[in-house]
Amino acid sequence: MSQTDLEIVVDDPTAPEEDSPSVVSSGTIEIFVCILLFALAATLGYDNWRTGASWDSTGPEPGYFPFYLSVILGGGSLYGLIAALVAHRKAAETFVTRAQARRVMAVFVPTLLFCLVTQFLGLYVASFLLIASFMRVIGKIAPWKSLLTAFVFTAIMFVTFDIAFDVIMPKGPLEAAFGH
């Protein structure tokens, strides 16, 4: 018998407020991205020109193909820049609200710190710290649950990758102390 009358409810206490003010508009970000892409196209185009973007006795030089791609990327970005500047209506659309930005930062900043910590303490210690602190600080989950989940997950990853599948991850002083 199907039990479709039961309901699963997963509430998120940190859901963003509906009326949060806009931080930046889509139009502004589009203009910014197009300028960045144009700058990238110019830089890569110059580098390819320097490498050699014409023909020699053996055929096209190494920079030939990417140089013309840089030109296409530059053209596309320039078109996008003009289109974004012309489209007034779209410029008013919200790219991110303050509440959304806060939530995005709440995951981005710990991820950035995780990458940094991985470099010095190894991936497994960094994973443990990321999961435990994220669950505790962002999710407001009980400390013992956060620590236990982080430990179990990290241990499973270690056993799966380093032991069972022989995929060696970056290690730090803790693993070295245990002979890994």
Q: Between residue 108 and residue 167, which ones bind other proteins under the rule CB under 8 A?
A: 108, 110-112, 114-115, 118-119, 123, 127, 130-131, 134-135, 138-141, 149, 153-154, 157, 160-161, 165-167
174 is a contact residue toward other proteins (CB under 8 A): no
Q: Which is nearer to other proteins, 14 or 177 (CB)?
A: 14
Q: Is 176 in the site for other proteins (CB under 8 A)?
A: no
d(CA 53, CA 178): 53
Could you give the CA distance from residue 48 to residue 69 in angstroms, rounded to a whole number? 10
Q: Does 24 bind other proteins (CB under 8 A)?
A: no
Q: How far is the CB of 119 from other proteins (least distance, A)?
A: 6
List the one residue from 35, 42, 91, 169 that touches other proteins (CB under 8 A): 169
Residue 170 CB partners (closer than 8 Å, separation 6+): 118, 119, 122, 123
Nearest to 122 by CA among 62, 67, 70, 162: 162
Size of the site for other proteins (CB under 8 A): 83
Q: Are 123 and 114 a contacting pair, CB within 8 Å?
A: no
Q: Which of 170, 173, 174, 176 binds other proteins (CB under 8 A)?
A: 170
Name residue 53's amino acid.
Answer: A
- Of the two residues 171 and 177, which places its CB atom closer to other proteins in the complex? 171
> Counting Cβ atoms within 10 Å, is residue 77 exposed (0-12), middle (13-18) or buried (19+)?
buried
Nearer to other proteins, 8 or 177 (CB): 8
Residue 73 sits in the site that holds other proteins (CB under 8 A)? yes
The full length of the chain comes to 180
19 binds other proteins, rule: CB under 8 A: no
Among 42, 65, 89, 178, binds other proteins (CB under 8 A): 65
Q: DSSP label at 94?
A: E
Q: Which of 48, 121, 125, 175 binds other proteins (CB under 8 A)?
A: 48
The 8-class DSSP code of residue 59 comes to E
Residues 6+ apart with CB under 8 A from 115: none
